[in-house]
A = this chain, B = another copy of it.
């Protein structure tokens, strides 16, 4: 449990860092803005801070506490409320866990609240921002956009590394199709759908912010907003592209492997189809009838052997001519 607080005096430019106790400093100084960061805070204290101290809207608090709320932006009478969702890459390609962030933004305060673990990289960028006078000087909405940018920039590298993998699968597939490809592509399709959905919700948040009209987010931030928007738009577009390619590869793999299996079965069946008439012929002369004139002919055995060879060659020639071999 951590409560990290930065209080910044917009007149004197003084930055004070500490814990919950700094709320008093902020209250006392009308020029001060505060950034309070809540990490795994005990529910009782958390509700006391959000409900009683800051008096956020009950529906916003409800959303904050719900697990896996979809990313959103909602304007309340005295603050703007965000839910954002980052991803922390796992070891496998495209594996990830979500990192949910709630933000309450108003001109004099920004309250951030984490659900789940932060990645070490974003924790570092976070820490840097908390002690950056120049960032706090640009106001709470600038901080909010910077945090959103940190969060959303986790998506692109996760998705981009897939291109190479997909091309490797395509190349490998035509050499030696293997069953694990199917499993892997199915997994990618599922993960890409989830990532695209997450990115789409957040892209929509930045579309609204870019359009203007959201309080406390001035037009001067439009390039930063556009930067975050473009990043998410690209993630969504790549998810669609790679998802389509994965689908095509999956279909291609299945076709190819059913095709190869078919060719094998064909050759095996041709082997059978050639020997079955020959075996029948051998069976004929294995019969024990008393009166079978051929049996006593001198070269009958060799004649039959020759006839069998002729049948076999004839069938082979027939199969070849019809391009079955």
Contact = CB atoms under 8 A, between A and B. Distances in A.
Interface of A: 57, 59-60, 62-63, 70, 72, 74, 76, 170, 174, 176, 179, 182-183, 186, 189-190, 193-194, 197, 223-224, 226-227, 230, 233-234, 237, 241, 244-245, 248-252, 254-259, 261-266, 268-273, 275-280, 282-292, 294-296, 298-301, 304-305, 322-324
Given A248-B189, A266-B264, A285 B289 contact: yes
B261 A226 contact: no
Given A256-B182, A269-B265, A283-B283, A288 B277 contact: no
A234 to B, nearest CB: 5
Contacts of A63: 227
B234 A70 contact: yes
A257 B259 contact: yes
B183 A174 contact: yes
A287 B289 contact: no
Given A179-B259, A237-B70, A295 B288 contact: yes
> By DSSP majority rule, is chain A's interface helix, strand, loop, or mixed?
helix
Contacts of A304: 287, 289
A227 B57 CA distance: 12
A305 to B, nearest CB: 8
Given A266-B261, A287-B288, A224 B59 contact: yes
A99 to B, nearest CB: 19
Contacts of A263: 261
Contacts of A278: 280, 283
A288 B282 contact: no
A310 B237 CA distance: 59
Contacts of A261: 262-263, 266
A237 B276 contact: no
Nearest to A174: B183
A245 B196 CA distance: 13
A250 B194 CA distance: 18
18 contacts: A72-B230, A170-B190, A190-B245, A190-B248, A193-B245, A257-B259, A258-B258, A261-B263, A265-B266, A268-B269, A268-B273, A269-B269, A271-B273, A278-B280, A282-B286, A290-B295, A291-B299, A291-B301
